[in-house]
A and B are shown apart, each in its own frame.
Chain A
Amino acid sequence: MTSAPMFRVDRLVTEFRVDGGIVPAVNGVSFDVYPGETVGIVGESGSGKTVTVMSALGLLPASGRVVAGHAYLDDRDLVALSERELQSVRGKDVGLVFQDPMTALNPVMTIGTQVAEGLRRHNQGMTRKAAADRAVELLAEVGIPNPRQRARQYPHEFSGGMRQRAMIAIAMANRPRLIIADEPTTALDVTIQAQILDLLRRVQQETGAALVMITHDLGVIAEMTQRVIVMYAGRIVETADVDTTFHHARHPYTRGLLQSLPRLYQPVDELPAIGGQPPNPQRLPSGCAYRPRCPLSRDREECHTRPELTTAAPGHQTACHFHTELAEVRV
């Protein structure tokens, strides 16, 4: 890629305080996002995929704290910004789409007002009338029928899919250069999911924004993204372009996830499942966190030392001591 990254997460470390002490949630995560590209972050619950971006945007709950690292939007380190400064970034330079629009939207404010508010907050001098008109236009752009009437309704009067469209209207209102979508279709039915993915694709084409999709769904990753970051136990274990991720993965966890997926077109008698359980972040295994579940490790001594992300091929990094052993094995 020729241009400079527009969003750069650099050695980010985030912890949570809980009753029993400190839980590490993100353990030194770095990645770049270039203008206009779509990056997927995939992982299971507790992998740190959501906490990573929430840390960057100052959206951690009170018990969470960024302990180290940076998150640069161009040259500004978001981690160092005050909440007030962050508010001028969120909704303007960065648009956000969350899993559950019902909690992200204000239940006692009409949809139109919420879109208009987002516009006025970041555009001084925009009149109430102009914002309201623009809000109706935005609702039309995201495919909400009868936008003028629907703008006067409240979130509870919208279906789940329509609420997510409204969220996307708010996210794109100020033409952000980066849209972060955290499990944007997880709560939706599959036919509605298809509509929303289609809409996100269209919004991205029209605005040229970069898109970071956080999801547990490898199908969504395959359909939407150009580059994939796979997280496990608070770290990136593999990152590569989407084709390499799905066909030449060099981390046994990535391979395991892909193999364990039931597929609509290729039913098999027994799914090659990953054994064991995801690790408890308070009691991470020493060395490689995937070691106890890893079919490649066979508890070899090297796996008791934590593997760093290393370059397997240009643009392809993996954190596995024995990744070369996977190079020969076809997926």
Chain B
Amino acid sequence: MSSEPLLRVDGLVKHFPIRGGILQRQRGTVQAVNGVSFTVAAGQTLALVGESGCGKSTVGRTIMRFHPPTAGRVIFDGRDLATMRARALRGVRRDLQYVFQDPYASLPARMPVGDIVAEPLAIHGIGNRASRQHRVRELFELVGLASEALSRYPHEFSGGQRQRVGIARALALQPKLLILDEPVSALDVSIQAQVVNLLARLQRELGVAYLFIAHDLAIVRHLAHQVAVMYLGHIVEYGAADTVFTRPAHPYTQALLSAVPVPDPRLRDPNRRRLLTGDVPNPANPPSGCPFRTRCWKADDRCEAEPPVLQVRTPAGAETACHYAQEDPVVQPAGALQ
């Protein structure tokens, strides 16, 4: 791509101090995000995937400047958010919106949902009361909510409907990028598919880009154009979703994909699985060299001494941060095709 992407995150670092004792002295540092770089193209979806504690949500929240980055640049639409002042940030927020995981906690309880969706319009002084009402009705229709619902309160809605309200609010200002932090993981299975379909349709119709933060790889498979796999604050594999899902080259990606239970008893195969031993290391005390080496079956002295750089190392062309990256084609299990 020759043109500048909508979002370019460059060397993003976010460390949190650990404080303790009576004087609240700093006792250590949680290295939540440790030099992460990626881009999101206009109208496309990049999924940040990984397990809890890998730093994926911190990346999203740092881009939003919910907390300031420790280092790095966040170039959104040509401007660096990392160093921008609060006042200027407010202007940018029109184009950059965030949808929370928990549709129960993220909507104000005492406000009718119509007002919740209208709020961003009012804050940004867009239109008058009547035109805002009109826009809210449009948004409700867009996300598949009945306009009779406008005057009802969040507690009267199911989880899936609340998430639709959250998405409608995020879309009110016609943003160019939505950061979606686990938007369907709190929802029931039958409702997840509805919201996944809604997100796909909204992207087709509105051309909005998504930074999709998720741990559910099957859902990511359905929505993402690009995937970045995170482990312990680092991106370990990054590339086109088709490549990463079918020819993963980093051992962690391979283990992660093989761990997903397959909803078909005919494909049950305990040997398919790469069982990892142990737990993720403490991000306040990460291992030297490669962050994954303590659980990796390929690790040797080099991995301890030399942190692997994220770069193209294999023919399929995804970037991998592994000295011993090797594509392991995920064979479509026999019987998966009906």
Highest count of chain A CB atoms <10 Å: which of B218, B260, B263: B263
A258 within 8 A of partner (CB): yes
- Report A-chain residues with C-beta under 8 Å of the C-beta of B257: 264
Question: Does B190 touch A at the CB level, under 8 Å?
Answer: yes
Stretch in contact with the other chain, from A21-29, A217-225, A318-326: A217-225
In angstroms, Cα B286 to Cα A142, docked, is: 26
Nearest-neighbor residue (CB-CB) of B331 within chain A: A265
A162 and B277 alpha carbons, distance in the complex (Å): 11
Within 8 A of A (CB), among B151-200: 158, 160-161, 188-194, 196-197, 200
When distances are taken between beta carbons in the complex, the residues of chain B under 8 Å from A153 are: none
Q: Assess whether B264 is in contact with A246, with CB atoms less than 8 Å apart.
A: yes
- A contact residues around B275 at 8 Å (CB): 194-195, 198
**Stretch of B1-9, B79-87, B131-139, B266-274 at the chain-chain interface:** B266-274
Specify which of A197, A262, A264, A265 is in contact with B196 (CB 8 Å cutoff): A262
Chain B residues, CB < 8 A from A162 = 279
A1 vs B125: C-alpha distance when bound (angstroms): 71
Verify A222–B265 contact, CB threshold 8 A: yes
How far, in whole Å, are A234 and B264 apart by their CA atoms in the complex?
25
**Which of A44, A192, A263, A270 touches B200 (beta carbons < 8 Å)?**
A270
Q: Is B15 an interface residue (CB 8 A)?
A: no
A2 interface residue per 8 A CB criterion: no
Asked if B249 CB lies within 8 Å of chain A CBs, one says: no
Beta-carbon contacts of A26-45 to B below 8 Å, as 1s and 0s? 00000000000000000011
* A190: B residues at CB distance < 8 A: 51, 215, 217, 256, 259-260
User: Within the complex, what minimum Cβ distance (angstroms) separates A297 from chain B?
Assistant: 16
Flag whether A63 is at the interface (Cβ < 8 A).
no
Return A296 CB to nearest CB of chain B, in Å. Answer: 15
Of the candidates B278, B279, B333, the one whose C-beta lies within 8 Å of that of A265 is B333
B130 contacts chain A at the CB level, 8 A cutoff: no
CA distance A198 to B268 in the complex (A): 13
Verify B266–A243 contact, CB threshold 8 A.
yes
The residues in B between 239 and 292 inclusive whose CB is less than 8 angstroms from any CB of A are 245, 255-268, 270, 273, 275-276, 278-280
B336 within 8 A of A: yes
Asked if B219 is an interface residue, CB under 8 A from chain A, the answer is: yes
| The residue from A218, A272, A331 contacting B193, defined by CB atoms under 8 A apart | A272
Interface residues on chain B, size class: 35 or more
A216-B188, A274-B193, A278-B158 known; A261 vs B263 contact (CB < 8 Å): yes
State the CA gap A123–B192 with chains docked (Å). 47
Q: Does A268 contact B (CB under 8 A)?
A: yes
Residues of B within 8 A of A201 (CB): 270
Do B270 and A260 have beta carbons less than 8 Å apart?
no
User: How far does the alpha carbon of A214 sit from the alpha carbon of B259 in the complex, in Å?
Assistant: 19
Closest to B282 in A: A159
Q: List residues of chain B with CB within 8 A of the CB of A331.
A: 338
Known contacts: A265-B332, A270-B200. The answer to whether A257 contacts B189 by CB under 8 A is: yes
Contact A222 B188 (CB under 8 A): no
Least CB distance, A143 to chain B, in whole angstroms: 9
Q: Which residues of B contact A109 (CB under 8 A)?
A: none
Determine how close the nearest CB of chain A comes to the CB of B57; give it in whole angstroms.
14
B206 at the binding interface (Cβ < 8 Å): no
Nearest Cβ in chain A — how far from B226, in angstroms? 14
Closest residue to B54 on the A side, CB-wise? A189
In the complex, the answer to whether B193 meets A191 with C-beta atoms within 8 Å is: no
Q: A161-B279, A260-B193, A264-B221 are in contact. Are A194 and B273 (CB under 8 A)?
A: yes
Of residues 276 to 310 in B, which have CB atoms within 8 Å of A's CB atoms? 276, 278-280
Taken together as a complex, chains A and B put the C-alpha atoms of A31 and B205 apart, in Å, by: 48
A195 touches B193 (CB 8 A): no
Asked whether any CB of chain A lies closer than 8 Å to the CB of B18, the reply is: no
CA distance A167 to B203 in the complex (A): 44
User: In whole angstroms, what is the CA distance A221 to B258 when docked?
Assistant: 16
- Please judge, given known A-B contacts A219-B261, A272-B193, whether A191 and B266 are in contact too, CB under 8 Å: no
Shortest Cβ distance from A266 into B: residue: B336
The answer on a CB contact under 8 Å between A195 and B276 is: yes
Q: Please, which residues of chain A bring their CB within 8 A of the CB of B260?
A: 190, 219, 264
Write the chain B residue with the least CB distance to A258: B263
Residues of B within 8 A of A198 (CB): 270, 273, 275
**Interchain CB contact under 8 A, A262 and B221:** yes
Q: Is the CB of A246 within 8 A of B194?
A: no
Shortest C-beta distance, A200 to chain B (Å), equals: 12
How far does the alpha carbon of A46 sit from the alpha carbon of B208 in the complex, in Å? 35
Given contacts A195-B276, A264-B218, whether A189 and B265 have CB atoms under 8 Å apart is no
What separation, in Å, do the CA atoms of A242 and B266 have in the docked complex? Answer: 9
Q: Which A residues are in CB contact (< 8 Å) with B222?
A: 262, 267-268, 271
Which B residues lie within 8 Å of A149 (CB)?
none
Chain A residues positioned under 8 Å from B26 (CB to CB): none
Q: Answer whether residue A11 sits at the interface, using C-beta atoms and an 8 A cutoff.
A: no
A77 to B255, CA, bound (A): 45
With the chains together, A71 CA to B179 CA distance in Å? 48
- Please give the distance in Å from A246's CB to the nearest CB on chain B: 5
A330 is an interface residue with CB less than 8 A from chain B: yes
The answer to whether A260 touches B51 (Cβ under 8 A) is no
A124 beta carbon closer than 8 Å to chain B:
no
A82 on interface, CB distance cutoff 8 Å: no
**A174 contacts B by Cβ under 8 Å:** no
B218 touches A44 (CB 8 A): no
A272 to B197, CA, bound (A): 9
Q: Which of B190, B262, B265, B276 contacts A260 (CB 8 A)?
A: B190
Which of A195, A247, A263 sits near B218, CB closer than 8 Å? A263
Closest chain A residue to B158 by CB distance?
A: A277
Is A281 part of the contact surface with B, judged by Cβ < 8 Å? no
With A261-B193, A263-B218, A273-B194: A223-B338 Cβ-Cβ less than 8 Å: no
Residue B330 CB within 8 A of the other chain: yes
Residue of A nearest to B223 (CB): A262
Interchain CB contact under 8 A, A273 and B190: yes
| A285 on the B face (CB < 8 A) | no
- What are 5 pairs between A and B in contact, CB < 8 Å? A194-B261, A194-B275, A264-B217, A267-B222, A278-B191
